[in-house]
Structure 1
Amino acid sequence: MPSAVTLIRSEKLSDVAEYAYAATAPAEARLIFLAGSCPLDADGATVAVGDYAGQAAACVATMKEALAAAGSTIDDVISTRVLVASSSQADLVEAWEVVRDAFGDHDVPSTLMGVTVLGYDDQLVEIEAVAAVVD
């Protein structure tokens, strides 16, 4: 099923960004607001301790599972917020590259933020997302 999400680009804005600057969905779309996807295993333990890329990959996997439970896929995501517990831009980029690659050509509007701490022990990465589907 084709995605209800339309990505919007502007020739007046920099093409350096690795994502669309805006996205829309039709009025009849059902919005899905995902809680922050965390790098936790089935027992609730943090995985890939100390590994920004590993935790980003685990967050993407969690996000995909949550999307599937809501009847959608990663191609239905309309925006993301990627939180990285670091003040180092290199750490943020390491996590971002995993997220960017997971989305492929569906390069949704995203915000990448360095934060001081996240909610679970040893947690370095969390991904929030909103999706839109037409049932």
Structure 2
Amino acid sequence: MTVTLSNPQDLPQVDVYHQVAVATGSRQVFVAGQVSWDADGATVGVGDLAAQVEQSYANVATALRHAGASTDDVVRLTVYAVDWTPDKMPALLDGLARAARRTGSTATPPATLIGVAALDVPEHLVEIEATAVVGQPASAPAAALPETRPESRPEFFATPGYGDRQLERMGYSQAVRIGDRVEISGQGGWDDDFVFPADLEDEIVRAFDNVERTLATAGATWADVVHVNSYHVPETPGFIGETHNRVMVEQMRARMDGRAPVWTETGVPALGAPGMRVEIRVTAIV
């Protein structure tokens, strides 16, 4: 089995997910955040959280299936819920149970629930993204598979300028590379003095520039990016906003050289610095 799930005895024993997943497969599958839409892009279950959870999770299962994976291969699940309050938990669990029956899933991977201010459109109440690890397909000849670097110890990097400052002041790095995989810290639209542009479009463009600078420290580029998470302070309540959406799409098209990574976009009430309106983090495979 590619993924082994466990609950250490010193951590809470939760029945709907596990605390730890150990993956031994050779292929990583990243699923963009899935919302409650059908194949035509129409929202399913408007105003019904349980129905939207069911459809969103079913869409995750569909995406995994097309990548040669299943929910049993998932190592991390992230659920974003709009205006989350604890009284919504029964509806969330009901939706997950309905999705499990619908897809035949028995998986309970490590999961994170995050309350957000908004999603891509006001009708969407929940979004679910997943990461899975699967073994080499039996039918694939070894020569057809991409070469991978041997596993190595993590290497950490600080982006010259603001990254050096954050490493000294706050004790964290901007990027880490393990073998062929690069993860970066969320990047905002700041300059090296942590000053943000007044114009939202300029702030988003600079955030993309900072992602590019940070990837370069670990030997990666935008062309290596497979997964994007973006966090936005909405322009209006309940809607991330046209400027956020337009500039994000323009920048990804301009920088990805025709490739389209998986992307999860979420609205949040605040970010790490006063006046900050966007933050972008990515995963790259080089």
* Structure possessing the higher relative contact order (Cα contacts under 8 Å, 6 or more residues apart): 1
Query: Where do residues 81-120 of structure 1 align in structure 2 (5 Å cutoff)?
Result: 81-99=78-96, 102=100, 105-120=106-121
Residue of structure 1 equivalent to 2:26? 29
Does the alignment pair 1:65 with 2:66? no
Say if 2:21 and 2:75, in contact at 8 Å, map to a contact too.
yes
Which segment is superposed worse, 71-80 or 15-24? 15-24
Among candidates 12, 15, 25, match of residue 14 of structure 1: 12
C-alpha change, 1:9 and 1:30, in structure 2 (3 Å) is same
SS class of match (1:95):
helix
Q: Percent identity?
A: 36
Which segment is superposed worse, 28-37 or 49-58? 28-37
Say if 1:6 and 1:24, in contact at 8 Å, map to a contact too.
yes
Q: Any idea what the Cα deviations from partners look like across 1:10-54, whole Å, max 9, x if unmatched? A: 11111246321110111x421101000111122212110000000
Larger radius of gyration: 2
Residue of structure 1 equivalent to 2:126? 125
Q: Any idea what the Cα deviations from partners look like across 1:42-73, whole Å, max 9, x if unmatched? A: 22121100000000011011111100110011
Residue of structure 1 equivalent to 2:74? 77
- C-alpha root-mean-square deviation of aligned residues, in Å? 1.9
5+ residue gaps, structure 2, are 137-286
- Runs ≥4 residues deviating over 3 A: none
Does the alignment pair 1:46 with 2:43? yes
Counterpart Cα distance in 2 of 1:132 and 1:16? 23
Q: TM-score normalised to the size of structure 2?
A: 0.43
Number of aligned pairs?
Answer: 132
5+ residue gaps, structure 1, are none
- Matched AA of 1:128: E
Counterpart Cα distance in 2 of 1:71 and 1:131? 10
